[in-house]
Amino acid sequence: MRVEQASVFTGITLREPASARLLDTREARWEMPIRVLSVGDDPLVHEGVRALLGAENDMELVGEVASAQFETMHFTSLLPAVVLMGSDITGHESVRAIARLQSFDPGVRVIVIASRGGDVRTRRAIDAGAHGCLLSSNVRAALAQAIRTVASGRRFIDGDSALQLMQSRTEEDLKAREIQVLELVAAGKANKEIAYELSTTEGTVKNYIKKILGKLHASDRTHAVVIGIARGIIEVRALSA
């Protein structure tokens, strides 16, 4: 596999294979080597993926793309068979990215590289159509296997991810209004302010918070916010107004 050297990740790195003229159709993409696109904002992750794929004869890294550029880039010249989506992409961003990929080409396969297999970000990506999930701690050992598996049309969820996903599925999910309340708590809003923003009463807000603490097994409001951010239930934002 031909790999370019890149010491600094600046946004987009594209690699056109010598046989690019043979890739005028989507079907050609499925010929060997497997064409892989790496998406994310961490240059170390891209570097690791580059090194791992460089040792595989049946895979070719066709591009490294930052999440911001991914929103607007064109895939015609890349035609990836497998897209690796980094754990630094938030849950809602990954859902939009997967939808965009599928609208361009329903046949493309997506593997989510997750820091925690059972969090809401990962579950959203799987529900949105991702074909695989690999914990970042298992990338070195299982990345090549994951790529070959999804490229063959099957799903790949490594053992640790599968266990965490099953455990998280057994927990009662927060409802939309409860997530909204938790976001406002994370923004530093008092119950009175939350009630005003949601056009409800302080008593109702207190009931929502009580349910949130119970579902998340949190000891207090701050603990609930920490858990919510860690699990990807809410996005990171300032805890003060």
- Contact in structure between 13 and 59 (CB atoms under 8 Å): no
Burial class of residue 157 (count of CB atoms within 10 Å of its CB; 0-12, 13-18, 19+): buried
Residues 209-231 have pLDDT tens digits of: 999 998 888 899 999 988 887 77
Query: What strands lie across the sheet with 59-65, from one edge to the other?
Result: 12-14, 59-65, 34-39, 82-85, 109-114, 132-135, 156-157
Give the tokens for residue 108.
């493309």
Of 78-82, 111-115, 118-122, the poorest mean pLDDT is in 118-122
Read off the pTM.
0.62
For tokens 């799903």, the residue is 155
**Torsion of the alpha carbons at 50, 54, 60 and 61, rounded to the nearest 10:** 10
Of 1-5, 83-87, 119-123, the poorest mean pLDDT is in 1-5
Coil/strand/helix, residue 157: strand
Which comes out higher in pLDDT, residue 12 or 227? Answer: 227
For tokens 């240059």, the residue is 43
- Cα gap 232→138, rounded to integer Å: 20
Q: Cβ contacts of residue 197 below 8 Å, gap of 6+? A: 184, 189
What are the φ and ψ backbone dihedral angles of 133, each rounded to 5 degrees?
Answer: -140, 130
- Cα gap 182→176, rounded to integer Å: 10
Residues 147-164 have pLDDT tens digits of: 999 999 898 887 655 555
- Cα gap 224→213, rounded to integer Å: 6
pLDDT confidence tier of residue 101, bands split at 50, 70 and 90 = confident
pLDDT at residue 209, as a whole number:
94
- Cα gap 87→90, rounded to integer Å: 7
Query: Residue 5: pLDDT above 50?
Result: no
Which comes out higher in pLDDT, residue 26 or 32? Answer: 32
- Cα gap 191→194, rounded to integer Å: 5
pLDDT at residue 90, as a whole number:
53
Q: Is the backbone of residue 232 left (phi > 0), alpha (psi -120 to 50) or beta?
A: left
